[in-house]
């Protein structure tokens, strides 16, 4: 599958295309719009609803994207997800779980942008959050957090 993504090179974010396998939605669809307390960190983790996500964090004039700074982490990838791809991934998720798609599932008509981080060498994520999402020109919801190993 060809996907669009943003790559940070020398502090500049550039729009690129690449081939890679996307096998799952950025977070499990049943968790969309929900919050829970992480058993790993004790933090409250909230996931956005897929139908709220958009690409408004892109600067209209330059096409550049500025991802939030996460202490002791770097941007691993920024991805642009068209609505047809998300629909396919959500259907695939439920098929792999052996469950039907819930009747109240809504599919966004919008493409969206997300940024995935990786912790610096010697650091690790405190919990399952490694991604932020764009909604209404803001990166949301629960930011990733890295801590030193050991």
Domain range annotation of the chain = 2-148
The H or E element containing residue 91 is helix 83-97
Write the burial class of residue 126 (CB in 10 Å: 0-12 exposed, 13-18 middle, 19+ buried). Answer: middle
Query: pLDDT at position 73, please?
Result: 96
> How many residues are given for the chain?
150
pLDDT for 21 beyond 70 = no
**What pTM was computed for the model?**
0.77
The H or E element containing residue 87 is helix 83-97
Query: pLDDT at position 6, please?
Result: 47
């Amino acid at each position: 599958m060809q996907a669009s993504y943003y790559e940070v090179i020398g502090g500049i974010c550039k729009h690129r295309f690449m081939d890679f396998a996307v096998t799952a939605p950025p977070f499990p669809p049943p968790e969309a719009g929900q919050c829970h307390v992480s058993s790993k960190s004790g933090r409250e983790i909230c996931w956005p609803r897929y139908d709220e996500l958009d690409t408004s964090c892109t600067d209209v004039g330059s096409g550049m994207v500025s991802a939030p700074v996460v202490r002791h982490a770097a941007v691993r990838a920024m991805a642009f997800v068209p609505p047809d791809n998300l629909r396919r991934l959500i259907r695939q998720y439920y098929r792999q779980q052996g469950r039907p798609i819930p009747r109240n599932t809504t599919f966004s008509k919008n493409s969206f942008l997300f940024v995935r981080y990786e912790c610096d060498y010697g650091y690790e994520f405190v919990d399952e959050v490694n991604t932020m999402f764009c909604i209404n020109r803001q990166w949301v919801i629960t930011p990733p957090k890295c801590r030193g190993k050991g």
